[in-house]
Copies of this chain bind each other. A is one copy, B any other.
Amino acid sequence: MSPSESVAISIDLGGTRYRVAAVSTDGRVLARLTGRSAAEYEPSAVIDDLVAAVKRIQAELSASHFVGLGVAAPGPIDEEARIVLVAPNFPRWKDVPLAAELERQLELPAYLGNDANLAALGEFRHGAGRGVHHMVYLTVSTGIGGGVIVDGRLLLGSRGAAGEAGHMQIAADGPRCNCGNHGCLEAFAAGSGLARRALAAIEEGAETTLRAIGNTVTAVDIGEAAAKGDALALDLVESAGRALGVGVRNLIHIFDPSVVVIGGGVSQMGALLWDPMRAIVASDPYVAFRGSARIEPAALHDDSGLVGAAVMVFEPEVAGLQPRVRTA
Contact = CB atoms under 8 A, between A and B. Distances in A.
Interface of A: 76, 132-134, 146, 148, 150-151, 153, 155-165, 167-173, 179-181, 242, 246, 249-251, 253-258, 283-286, 289-291, 293, 320
Given A169-B170, A181-B284, A289-B76, A255 B153 contact: no
Given A76-B289, A150-B151, 7 more contacts: A132-B158, A158-B257, A164-B286, A168-B250, A171-B172, A172-B242, A172-B246
Contact of A253 (B160, B167, B171, B258): B167
8 contacts: A132-B158, A134-B158, A160-B256, A162-B255, A163-B256, A164-B254, A165-B254, A179-B286
Q: For the complex, would chain A's binding face be called helix, strand, loop or mixed by DSSP majority?
A: loop
B257 A290 contact: no
Given A134-B157, A286-B179, A168 B257 contact: no
B167 A170 contact: no
Contacts of A155: 150, 255
Nearest to A163: B254
B76 A254 contact: no
Nearest to A257: B158
Contacts of A257: 157-158
A320 to B, nearest CB: 8
Give the copy number: 2
A286 B157 contact: no
A73 B312 CA distance: 38
A285 B156 CA distance: 20
A246 B165 CA distance: 13
A253 B168 contact: yes
A242 B289 CA distance: 29
A132 B159 CA distance: 12
A157 B249 CA distance: 14
Contact of A285 (B170, B181, B253): B181
B167 A286 contact: yes
Contacts of A283: 181
Contact of A156 (B132, B156, B256, B291): B256
Cβ-closest 4 pairs across A and B: A157-B256, A162-B256, A164-B253, A161-B256
A156 B254 CA distance: 10
A158 B290 CA distance: 10
Kindly name the residue among A242, A256, A291, A320 whose own CB sees the greatest number of chain B CB atoms within 10 A: A256
B258 A158 contact: yes
A164 B76 CA distance: 27
A68 to B, nearest CB: 23
A6 B253 CA distance: 36
A254 B291 CA distance: 23
A134 B290 CA distance: 26
Given A151-B153, A179-B285, A246-B172, A253 B165 contact: yes
Contacts of A165: 253-254
Contacts of A159: 256, 290-291
